[in-house]
Amino acid sequence: MSEKKENTAKTEVKKAKVSSPASSFKVIVREIVKDKIALTAFIVIILVILFTFGGSLFLNKEQVTETNIVDAYFGWGMNGHLLGTDDGGRDIVKLLMMGGRNSILIGLCVTLICETVGVLIGLVSGYYGGYVDAVIMRIVDFVQVLPALPIEIVLVTVVPKFSPLTLVWIISLFGWTSTARLMRAFVLSQRGRDYVLASKTSGSSDLKIMFREVLPNITSMLIIDVVLTVAGNIGIETTLSFIGYGLPTDVPSLGTLINFANDPVNVVSRPWLWLPATVLLLAISLSINYVGRALQRAGDARQREN
């Protein structure tokens, strides 16, 4: 009898294992490993992070940005400079490390602010609906129709004591709207579900339902949005720095390096000034996009399994 009970228990455990859906982490890993391009992109992202953040740990900002006219415009591999030097004699490899780190950090900080604001507004708008939703969405519409880039350029110009932190806040002013709309759509799809109605019936507060019940159910979509938004925010910072309205001149970034391509002489005769930063930016953007697509498929697969 005891053996029969044990066998029955084992069978039930096996059935439970077979029927239970895979965890979100396992689904994400499965989708990335299955897609060779996404796997390569993920490895590239790891290498870029090691190169920029790991390499910057061994650099001193004052020494990297110190001007030495005697070493100006060394080409590929000349005098110990692997990728040459710029017009101030600064080593391109070191500028690339610090510039890449600064651009990625700004992209991450802007994403953190935009996602936090967007999630809060999307949760409130989608959960309450009705007049609250209508008012919030009209405000979102108003912000979205504003010409973001010209306004950002004006703000960069007029703000006193401009710093990287100031740039983060300026870019964040316009970046939260798409996240708010996306989260609102997901919350609207959840607000009529049984678990939400049951929580309301049991007397749970709105805040508890929003943050403890609804938010965990849209986390996978939030992760996908975060990944894709990071790439977009790095691109915005690089664009502003490229046209001369981004980071201060003494702070390296990918945009300030690519800015050398504004001079036709540099484009033709000194490609080491702008080409490495351009390649690094492309690698970051494409890799994040491919990994983001894999995450999107993982999110869809997870929803189907649920």
What per-residue confidence (pLDDT) applies to 17? 47
Q: What is the pLDDT of residue 16?
A: 47
Which pair of tokens denotes residue 256? Answer: 């300030």
Largest CA distance in the chain: 90
What per-residue confidence (pLDDT) applies to 36?
A: 87
Is 21:305 a contact under the CB 8 Å cutoff? yes
How confident is the model at residue 3, as a pLDDT?
A: 55
Instruction: Tell me the pLDDT of the chain (306 aa) as tens digits.
Output: 455 555 555 555 455 444 455 566 777 788 788 888 889 999 999 999 999 999 888 888 788 888 888 888 888 888 888 888 988 889 999 999 999 999 999 999 999 999 999 999 999 999 998 899 999 999 999 999 988 888 988 888 888 777 888 889 999 998 899 999 999 998 988 888 888 888 888 888 888 888 888 888 888 788 888 888 888 889 888 888 888 888 877 788 898 889 888 888 888 889 999 999 999 999 998 998 888 888 877 777 665 555
Write 249-256 long-range contacts (CB < 8 A, 24+): 250/65, 251/102, 251/164, 252/64, 252/65, 252/95, 252/98, 252/99, 252/102, 253/99, 253/102, 253/103, 253/106, 254/99, 254/100, 254/103, 254/280, 254/281, 255/103, 256/99
Phi, psi of 65 (to 5 degrees): -90, 5
Nearest to 139 by CA among 168, 188, 181: 181
Find the distance separating the first CA and the last CA of the chain, reported in whole Å.
36
pTM of the entire structure? Answer: 0.83
The alpha carbon of 192 is separated from its chain's Cα centroid by a whole number of angstroms, namely 31
d(CA 173, CA 143): 9
Task: Determine contact, residues 257/99, Cβ cutoff 8 Å.
Answer: yes
